[in-house]
Amino acid sequence: MKTTSGWLLYALLGATLVLVGCPGPTSPPTRYFLLTAQTALEPGTKPVEKPRTTNLVVELEPVEIPQYLNRPEMVTRVGGNRLRLERLSQWAGDLKEDLGRIAVENLSVLLGSDRITVLPNRAEQRADFRIATSINRFEPDENGLVTLDARWTLFNGPGKLLTSRHARIATQSAQSDDAESLAEAMSQAMARLHRDMATEILNQPRQ
């Protein structure tokens, strides 16, 4: 009986050493992404009217986003009421701050002004316009179609309401299963929204 127990103990020890010595499968690394400003014209789009001035002062309120987007993982809609969190594809920074950053970059180019700021930062001069943006939905589906549903409101410097718009924009990613391509399509959707904002601002009379 002792001999059998001894052999059994040696066998168990040997199996443990084999398991320790053989590395298991490694999981793929997490990749991180940013939204990017889109200053170039998309195919088939008309350029925004040339700005009448290069010193417009525009204040942007921080973009409001739904709680399900306020997370590090990129989100994919896989059904009408079902979402999937992409654990291996995450935002490199805070999504809300990223949305504010590209809004400043896009509108600066579209309006020909370097005086676009996100509140609470303010320019030295009194603002000509203020924009408030609320995003209701902003994610791709399993086919790579990005849907941006947002409402934005334009005020003049003193705070008078000028216009309120509801935008629903769709952009198709080049590859539905590639997170980098999806981030690019999301950036393009925001660029279209900013182009609409810039056009509306340029159609407003200056005070």
- Residue 27: pLDDT band (50, 70, 90) is confident
Domain locations in the chain as residue ranges? 52-202
Mean pLDDT value across residues 178-205 = 95
Q: Check whether 34 has a pLDDT greater than 60.
A: yes
**Whether the predicted pLDDT of 168 surpasses 70:** yes
Nearest to 105 by CA among 203, 198, 2: 198
The predicted model gives 89-94 an average pLDDT of 95
- Residues 16 and 12: their CA atoms lie apart, in Å, by 6
From edge to edge, which strands make up the β-sheet containing 73-77? 31-33, 83-91, 73-77
Contact call for residues 107 and 117 (beta carbons, < 8 A): no
| 8 A C-beta contact, residue 59 and residue 115 | no
In CATH terms, the fold of domain 52-202 is Rossmann fold (3.40.50)
Q: Is the pLDDT of residue 44 over 90?
A: no
Average pLDDT over residues 7-16: 52
Query: Is this structure's pTM higher than 0.85?
Result: no
pLDDT at 80: 84
